[in-house]
Structure 1
C-alpha cells in the first residue's frame, strides 16, 4: 500500500502553491468519484492529495455578459437541476442527467467531470500494456476487444475514448474552462481543453502543472429552443455512451442560422468540427442536409474490428439528434 499525504486547502492560492511545491505526484480531489476508483485499481498512485472542497468554488452565478459561471466544486446534480441552467441551457442539463447514477451525480463535481479518465478495459487492467498508463508499453486495444473504442482522432498509440457526457454538451455550447495556476488565471476554450492522443496519450488535457479548474463559463446563447442530447448505450442507465450527440440549432424560418453538433464515445475528446457546421448556415433544416452534415463530421473514421459498427451508428445518431432538435 502506498503512503498518501493529505491537505485540505483553505483558498485557491494555497491549493496551487501546495500542488506546485510538491516534488511528488499530486492530485486535487473533489468528489473523488473517478480518482478513488483509479487509486483502488492502482492505475493512479498519487503521493499527495489536496482536498479542494472548502474552496469558494461552489456557486453558480450569472456573468456580466449574460451567460453563467458554474463553480468547479458544484456537484453535477446541483448543476443539472439548477433552475437557470435548466431554463437557459437545457442541453447541458439533459446531458448531465444521462450520466452515471443519481448517487454519483450527487458526489461528482463539475471540474472533476472534465478530468475523468477513459473507461478502456486495458487502461484499468494493470497487467496489460497501455500507453496511457505506461507510455511506450503499447496499446492492447488495437488488437484486443475494442467495441467501446475510438473511431475518430485516434493514433497508433491509443484508441481510448473520453467518457464525459457533460463535456460533449459543453463542446456544443462553446463553453470556456477557467483555471488558476502558478502563472495566474487563464481561460481555455472547451474545444482546446482536451487533447487527442497523438504520440502522448498519457497527456489528456492542456492544463499546466498544478493548474486548478475554478469554473466553467457558459456563453449567453444556450440554444434553449432547439436542442437534443441523444446517448446510445448498452442499457438505459449507468452506462457510458457507445455514441452520443449534443445537437443545437438556431433556426431562421425553415433554414439553419446556427448549428452545433458535438459527439461523445467516438474520440479521445468531445468531437466537433465548427468549420463543417458553418457550411450549413443558411441551408434548409432538412434530413438531406443533416445526412450530408453527418457524412462530413464522420469523414476519416476508422474502425478496429469490434467497433466498426460505430461509424454507421454515429451518422444515424447525428441525423436523429438534429431531427429531434428542430422538432422541439
Structure 2
C-alpha cells in the first residue's frame, strides 16, 4: 500500500491517518469540515490536498447512516480502487450500498474496536489500534484483492484482524458495546436528579460504570438506530432482569418473612450470573502472569523513564498493582519491568501509560 484517503477526520479517521503516515503511506485527508482537516493535517496525519489519481484504499470514517451514500459518491468520483469503512454497524450499510448500486466487489466492511471518550482530531493517536481487534466483514462478492488490501490496512495500524459475517458482527457489538453504552448512559442520567451531596460522594465505581456515557450523543443515536434490530431482544432480556431485581428488593422490604428468603435467593442468583458473565471477558493486553493476574511489560530503555516516574504514572491511572517483577540483576539501567494487574485492569493501564509516553508491550 502506497496511497490512502481517509474520509472523515474525527478521532478514528485521524488516528488511522496518523498510523498510515507513520508507516510511509501517502495519506489524503477529506472532510466536509475544513477546520477538522486543518487540525488533522497539523497533527501530521496527512495532506489536505485531494489525490490526483485513485488511491490504493479509501477509509470511510463517517456515521453509519451516511456510510453507503459516502461510498457511492466517492466510487463515482473514482477516489480509490478499494473501499472500507469503520462503522460500528455492518449489515445495514452493506444493504444500503447494494441498493445504491455500489461496486461491492471493491468494498470490505470494517470496524476497529478502539476509541476514546474524547472525540475529534486533537484526541487522535497513531497507536490507538495497537493490539486491538479490527473486525472485517467481507461478503461473497468481495474480491480477494479488496480483502487483502483491507488486511494490510489493519496490519499497518497494528491491530488484530477478525473476520465475521455482517449480522454476526452486529449481534456481537450489540452485546459488548451498544448495550453497555445504553446502560452507562441511563445510569449516568440518574445523576442529574441526585442531590449535590450524593454526587460529591461519587467514587471510582460510579466513574467506571458511567465512563463511556461521555460519548457524542448524536453519533451514538445514529449507531443505536442503525443496530436497533440486534438491540431490541437484548433490551427485552435486560428489562426482565431489572423487573426481577425490583421485585426481589420489594419483597425484602415489604413482603412477609417467608418470602424474604426467596427474594434473597433471587437477588443472589442475579448477582452470581453477573459475576460469571464478567469472568468470560478475556483480556486483550499482556500475558498470563502468576496467580491468575495479567502481566504488562513496560520498556525502560529511555534514560528519562525512571522507575519512580512509572509508579507515579500507574498511581495516576488509578490502577492497583498486584506485583512488579524486576530483572534478577543489579545492572543499570533496567531494560523493562513487568507489572502484574487484575485481568480487567490491563487494558486501562496500557492505555493510560501509552498516553503518558511509555512503550508498553
- Tell me if both proteins adopt one fold, taking TM over 0.5 as the criterion: no
Q: Which structure's relative contact order is higher, taking Cα pairs within 8 Å and 6+ residues apart?
A: 1
**Structure 2 length normalisation: TM-score?**
0.24
- Give the number of the structure whose residues are more often strand, by fraction: 1
TM-score w.r.t. the length of structure 1 is 0.26
> Which of the two has higher C-alpha Rg?
2
Q: Which has the higher helix share?
A: 2
